[in-house]
Amino acid sequence: MQGDRVGVATALSPATVGHFKFLFHLLFVGLGLSAPMRSFVFVLLFSLCACSASGPKFQDTPFAAQPAPQDKARLIFYREFDANFRSVTLGIDDSIIGALAHRGFVVADTAPGDHKISAWVRYTPVGKYVIGMDLKAGESYYIRASHRSQRMLYPLFGAAGTAFFFVDPEGEFRLEPLTATQALQDLENLKLSE
C-alpha cells in the first residue's frame, strides 16, 4: 500500500501536489465542515476523480497509426471534460458497444452501410440521442460525445421544465461527427475508456 502512494506522488508535479494540499486544507479546515460532512465531501471528490478514463493514451494505442480494416468502418468515439460525471453508453443499431468516461475514447469496427449511432445514460428509462450515418468500408469516423448543456436550463422554467428534464427524449448527451483534423487534436491527451 505504501509503495502505491509513493508511485502516485512521484507522478505528480510539485505544483499539482501544492494545489491538492491547498484544496484539502480549504475543505477540511478553512470551511469549518463537521467531521461527517468532511467525510462526505472526501468520498464525493474521490468518486468524481474515478470517473475519468484510465487506459492508455490515444497516441499509445494502435488506433492512432493503424488504418481501419478494409472490410469494416471504424468509429472512434471520444469525450472531453463536461458537466456530466456519468458515463455515456454508446450503441450501434441498438447494440451496446461500450461506456465512454470523461476524457476518454472508445473504438468500434463495424460493417459498412447505414447505421443508427446512439448515446444514453445506462439504466435511465428515457432519453437516447440518435444520429444516422452512412459508413464506408476502410474509413474512420470521429464522433464527439458531450453533455447537452441546454438540459441545465430546464429547471429555470419551473415545474414544467423540471418535469421535462426527466422525460427529455434526446437524453443527457449529444453526438457530433467531426473531421479527422479536429478530432485528432482533441484525442491527443485522451485515454481509452475501459
pLDDT in tens, 14-35: 444 444 455 555 555 656 666 6
CB 104 within 8 A of CB 63: no
Mean pLDDT of 158-175: 80
Q: What is the DSSP string of 126-172?
A: S-EEEEEEEE-TT-EEEEEEEE-GGGGGGGGGHHHHHHHHHH-TT-S
- Which domain range does residue 69 map to? 58-192
What is the number of structural domains in the chain? 2
Output the CA angle 175-106-49, nearest 5 degrees.
90
pTM given for the model: 0.70
User: Which pLDDT score is estimated for 24?
Assistant: 57
Are residues 36 and 117 located together in one domain of the fold?
Answer: no
Are residues 71 and 165 located together in one domain of the fold?
Answer: yes
Cα separation, 165 vs 187, whole angstroms = 31
Tens of pLDDT, residue by residue over 50-94, are: 456 668 889 999 988 899 999 999 999 999 977 667 889 999 998
Are residues 128 and 179 located together in one domain of the fold?
Answer: yes
User: Which pLDDT score is estimated for 129?
Assistant: 92
Rama region for 77: left / alpha / beta (φ>0; ψ in -120 to 50; rest): beta
Are residues 94 and 22 located together in one domain of the fold?
Answer: no
CATH of residue 143: 2.60.40.1120
- Positive or negative torsion for Cα 72, 78, 84, 85: positive
Are residues 35 and 102 located together in one domain of the fold?
Answer: no
Are residues 145 and 188 located together in one domain of the fold?
Answer: yes
Length of the chain counted residue by residue: 194
